[in-house]
Structure 1
């Protein structure tokens, strides 16, 4: 098929949305599909307030229209609720085309964390954005249930994977007996990640944090005993995972948490809160400690067997999740013919 993916999140950004889309595009192309990615580097942009690494496209509709018209995609997927996502949605609706969307990020909760305005005030806009999609792809069953309770419809499962060739290629290092343990966080250094719950713990050993973000400078100043590494490449990150003892995930707003799979693939037991995201990803995992008391979770995870973490991560593959993605699409045309057919009949036969 010819598949158009429209996203406001793309390289050089480093986050779960970008990783998911990059791996999905790689797998789609490997299976012979032609994939067009409309992303911010092709447009005039401005920095997102508070997140300068995120670029917002300026008045992108005319260019989005021209590119999509020239490409004539069999299927359209809108990945984000940003300027490009809105432009792609507008184009599809004006031309009577089916499209799918994805709910990658709990933006209402993120906005509440940054503004203090309750998340419930932002949900109507999110519900409106996704309401015209033939399917809304969501990463976990818990988030599907949450969104259904908030009036979202057409929700379908689209899980996530991990590249075992990068994060599971080498065994975890043998730790020196008596050495201080290392508690690691990887992700955006931002208020919505709830990092102060982790940084404020009285833990034996060291706290390491990998990632960039708007709160990095402030938190590094306030917590001088923690080690902040900044952004790292995949290869460097894989090495850091192998040097740690426990992966700590204090976020309460992530819809999935790709880093959970990366950490487990590297042999790291996980400490997290029992909330949507971790509860789904870590279900049945013997190397996960989910507790309302994060300190208790960290100390419990320290005693868990790394082999169980690796075995759990091996259940997740990008090839499997790409298959889910394809089955969720609602094409407008028969592949390679540009012959208009109904989205439902194409979806049923796909």
Structure 2
């Protein structure tokens, strides 16, 4: 199958969506599919407001149209709701091409965290207008399907995410020379990640933050006792994860929490709130602990055997996730094929 994937989240950005889509493309190609990724790096970009590290494509519609026309895909998947995704949405609507979308990020809560006067409900109404034109919206967990249904979303389908066990595995830990136990957060350091809820906890040993983002400088000033290691990638990141005794995930808004699966794959138990994302990947008191008292969760999780997390991760790799994704796209394709395969009226 020839798949066009349109996304505003792509390298060199570092976040869970980029990680997921990069792994997805690799597995799809490994399975014999041909994938065209249309991303901001192909266009002139401008910095994202309040998050200058992220670049958004400026006026990408002509370039998106040319690439889609040349590629003549069997399936179009719009992964994000930014300028690239919107350009693909507009082109497919103009050409009456069928397309699928996926829901990765609870942007209404993220926007409300920065600008409280913008109501969360308004954000979901806007997103619903975007996604409802697709023939199917792929969602990572059953609770997210239920949540989005309550927000008025329709034609939702499950696409479970995986973890890259080729990269994330037990290795020799980084030599950090920190008092143990080491409680770690890794990921984007931004207001919506609620990192300060972790940093405010009274815990024994040390707190370690691996990652970067707009909230890092302020958090470093307020928490001089915390070790901020900055951004680490690839094998270096894996070595830092393996140096921790527990991964603490304070976010309440993540749709999945891919970093939890990555920590477990390295043999590190996790602690988190009992919210949508963590509830789907954490086996309570086996691979981690979920509790509204995050301190209690962290203290209990650090006592768990990390081998259970390794076994869970190995059973939930990206090959199975990519196969599920391809199957959903195949179901969304028209029954007849040919040079105009996608040029059919979008299902209402």
CA contact (8 A) 2:97 2:342 kept: no
Equivalent residue runs for 1:140-151 within 5 Å: 140-151=141-152
Describe the SS at the equivalent of 1:166: coil
CA contact (8 A) 1:168 1:265 kept: yes
CA contact (8 A) 1:8 1:82 kept: yes
CA contact (8 A) 1:331 1:343 kept: no
Shift of 1:332: 4.9
Equivalent residue runs for 1:102-121 within 5 Å: 102-116=102-116, 117-121=118-122
Residues matched between the structures, number: 342
CA contact (8 A) 2:173 2:240 kept: no
Aligned partners of 1:240, 1:333: CA distance in 2, in Å?
49
Which residue of structure 2 lines up, in the alignment, with residue 281 of structure 1? 281
Structure 1, residues 50-77: CA drift from partner, whole Å, max 9, x if none? 1112111111111111111111111000
Equivalent residue runs for 1:133-282 within 5 Å: 133-170=134-171, 180-282=180-282
Aligned partners of 2:226, 2:311: CA distance in 1, in Å?
30
Q: Does 1:92 align with 2:126?
A: no
Aligned partners of 2:335, 2:92: CA distance in 1, in Å?
13
Give ranges in structure 1 of 5+ residues lacking alignment.
Answer: 345-350
Aligned partners of 1:90, 1:232: CA distance in 2, in Å?
37
Shift of 1:40: 0.4
CA contact (8 A) 1:161 1:317 kept: yes
Describe the SS at the equivalent of 1:267: coil
Equivalent residue runs for 1:12-161 within 5 Å: 12-116=12-116, 117-161=118-162
Shift of 1:166: 1.4
Aligned CA distance change for structure 1 residues 21 and 285 (closer, same or farther; 3 Å): farther
Aligned CA distance change for structure 1 residues 20 and 343 (closer, same or farther; 3 Å): farther
Which residue of structure 2 lines up, in the alignment, with residue 291 of structure 1? 291
Shift of 1:118: 2.8
Which residue of structure 1 lines up, in the alignment, with residue 333 of structure 2? 331
Describe the SS at the equivalent of 1:167: coil
Aligned partners of 1:285, 1:172: CA distance in 2, in Å?
24
Describe the SS at the equivalent of 2:202: coil
Aligned partners of 1:172, 1:343: CA distance in 2, in Å?
54
Describe the SS at the equivalent of 2:54: strand
CA contact (8 A) 1:8 1:84 kept: yes
Aligned CA distance change for structure 1 residues 11 and 341 (closer, same or farther; 3 Å): closer
TM-score of the aligned structures, taking structure 2 as reference length: 0.93
Shift of 1:284: 5.6
Shift of 1:287: 2.1
Give ranges in structure 2 of 5+ residues lacking alignment.
Answer: none
CA contact (8 A) 1:333 1:339 kept: no
Structure 1, residues 304-333: CA drift from partner, whole Å, max 9, x if none? 111112122222110000011101112358
Aligned partners of 1:52, 1:306: CA distance in 2, in Å?
37
CA contact (8 A) 1:333 1:341 kept: no
Aligned CA distance change for structure 1 residues 150 and 264 (closer, same or farther; 3 Å): same
Structure 1, residues 185-240: CA drift from partner, whole Å, max 9, x if none? 11100000011110001100111111111001111111111111111111011101
Aligned partners of 2:91, 2:160: CA distance in 1, in Å?
27
CA contact (8 A) 1:255 1:276 kept: yes
Aligned partners of 2:101, 2:249: CA distance in 1, in Å?
27
CA contact (8 A) 2:203 2:295 kept: yes
Structure 1 consecutive aligned stretches of length 4 or more whose deviation exceeds 6 Å: 341-344
How large is the RMSD of aligned CA atoms in angstroms?
A: 2.2
